[in-house]
Structure formats: structure tokens, C-alpha cells
Amino acid sequence: MCANVIVAEDDAKQAELVRRYLEREGHAVTVVPDGLAALEQARQGAPDLLVLDVMMPRADGLDVVRILRAEERELAVLMLTARATEDDLLLGLDLGADDYMTKPYSPRELMARVRTLLRRTRRDGKREDGHVLRVGSLAVDPVRHEVAVDGVEVECTPGEFRLLSAMAAEPERVFTREQLLAELHGFDRYISSRTVDVHIMNLRKKIERAPRRPVRLLTVFGVGYKLMDPLKGTPRAPAR
């Protein structure tokens, strides 16, 4: 599974270590020392993955991922950071990062994350049967990576899209937070189930007319969440 990978890391020793491990697995690697260089490289080529340090000169990693997602670039983003608080992790994911690792980390674990991320990205890219997932007036197009509600397109981050796609494929099924977390990032000791709650909250703002009284994306208290056709469901209590 060879891929084109950009490594954006201002620590030369760390960058060289990551480059060596990636090249051992057969990937083509370009190393850049700052955020602006990462943006330029991502725009020039067709990278599959960006391994992105958060704290860098010229433009930090959070700004880089924000800009790339605003430009609708589809490359996968794995962020690396010394910031270990949950709020920092959630901010990176909310901006559109696909996965997040805190320093110090094991190079072997990093490679495992890279393999998982590339498999998932390529699996999603192979869904070319033209099948659009519909739950009432909500439409999720896995091929075009588009979401629409009542015919109006809705912008979703990659994480939000994966979560919504999984639920739209099985409407009315109750998903636990752990199951949705596995859809998002795999089983990851650094990321808590609160990540799912953040994605759900953001999705409700985008697909519900009244996010605090959802009729599509419902909480099943004590269990998790499910996606419903509002014409089949019944009004529920305010979301918590």
C-alpha cells in the first residue's frame, strides 16, 4: 500500500526518524520544515497523507488543516503534538484532522496508525457504485463525499462524514459511542468517547432545524445514538 506522504515537522531529527520508517514501508516521502511549506506541497502534488506537527513556524498545524479543509482537499491528515489535553485533541479533530497522536510516541504505533488511515481512505475511495444513502430528506453520497438536507448541501469535516455515513448505512440502528469511535479513529487510548459527542453536536447544528431538539440524530440515553427519518420518529426531549 504505497502512498505519497508529506511530513511537516520542524524538528529535523524527528522528521528524519519518521521519514525513515515511512520509506521502509515503501512510501514516497517529502519532508517540509514549516506550515507554509506544507500547504505549498499539498497544493502542488497529489499527496495521500500529511503527517503534520502542530507547533511549527510560519503557520502552525491547526492553521494548516483548517486551510486545507476549507480548500476541500481530500488528503488524510495525521496530527502530531506535544499538547496532551483533551480539548487540544478535540480541536484538531473538529478542524478536520483524521487522527491525532501525542508526543512522545512509538514509531511502530505511528506506522500502524498510518496503515489504518490509508486503508480507510482507500476503502472509502473505492465506493463507486453510485449508491446514495438516504434517510428521509437526508442524503449522503459516499462517492462525491457530499451531504444534503432537503436538497441543500451541508459541509462536513472528514470525521463528521465518516460518522454520518456509518449511521446512514444502517438507519434506526443504535450505535454505541465505542462503535462510532472505532468508525472515526479505531480504538485509540488517547481519544475518549467525548470525541463522538463533539461530532454529534456539530452534526446536529448542520442537519437539524432545531439542534437542541433533534428529530434526525437522536440520543438513546445510556447507550449511544441513532439516525432516523423524522417522519418515522417521534419528537424527543432536548438533547443533552
**What is the C-alpha separation between 200 and 198, in angstroms, rounded?**
5
Burial class (CB in 10 A: 0-12, 13-18, 19+), 66: middle
CB count within 10 Å of CB 46 equals 9
What grid cell was written down for 96?
A: 478536520
**Residue 5 forms beta bridges with which residues?**
29, 49
Amino acid at 117: L
Prediction pTM value: 0.60
Per-residue pLDDT of the chain (240 residues; tens, 9 = 90+): 588 999 999 999 999 999 999 998 889 999 999 999 999 999 987 889 999 998 888 888 899 999 998 888 878 899 888 766 666 677 777 788 888 888 888 888 888 888 878 877 665 554 444 588 899 999 999 878 889 999 999 988 877 888 898 899 889 999 988 888 777 654 344 455 677 888 899 999 999 999 999 999 999 998 899 999 998 754 444 444
Farthest CA pair distance, the chain: 57
Question: What angle (nearest 5°) sits at the alpha carbon of residue 211, between those of residues 138 and 77?
Answer: 70
Q: Which residues contact 57 (CB under 8 A, 6 or more apart)?
A: 10, 33, 34, 35
Spatial contact of 115 and 2, defined as CB atoms under 8 Å apart: no
Predicted pLDDT of residue 32: 95
**What is the C-alpha separation between 8 and 41, in angstroms, rounded?**
10
